[in-house]
Amino acid sequence: MSRHSFLGRPPAWFWEVAAASLILLWRVLCYPAENLPFDWIVLISVYWIFTVRARHSRAWQVVTILLILWLFGIYAYRQIPLTIDALRFAL
């Protein structure tokens, strides 16, 4: 029996993709569609699914850098106004 046969035990990557897909499905069903590109849980779930199969590809490094920049952008966009307001900076 092949180790990739679903008649026996599924491969380890199957469970990773299944877990990330369930988390992604939960967020898609419970979160407004227009906010999904800015939800870090959605982004990390999609990245998790991507890395399961593309971990050793050249695209992995580029996708990782883009994800880090996008997450930092989300953080900065939401956090900087709160920090400025909390510290009472006048701009």
Let me know if residue 82 belongs to a domain: yes
pLDDT digits (tens, 9 = 90+) for 32-59: 999 999 999 999 999 999 999 887 788 8
Let me know if residue 48 belongs to a domain: yes
Let me know if residue 45 belongs to a domain: yes
The mean pLDDT of the chain is: 87
pLDDT given for residue 86 in this prediction: 86
- Taking the model in full, what pTM does it have? 0.75
Between CA 91 and CA 24 the distance in angstroms is: 39
Let me know if residue 4 belongs to a domain: no
Report whether pLDDT(76) > 60: yes
Domains identified in the chain, total number: 1
DSSP string across the chain: --TT-TTSPPPHHHHHHHHHHHHHHHHHHHS-GGGGGG-HHHHHHHHHHHHHHHTTSHHHHHHHHHHHHHHHHHHHHHHHHHHHHHHT---
With beta carbons less than 8 A apart as the criterion, state whether 27 and 42 touch: yes
Q: Which domain holds residue 64?
A: 12-87
Let me know if residue 7 belongs to a domain: no
Let me know if residue 25 belongs to a domain: yes
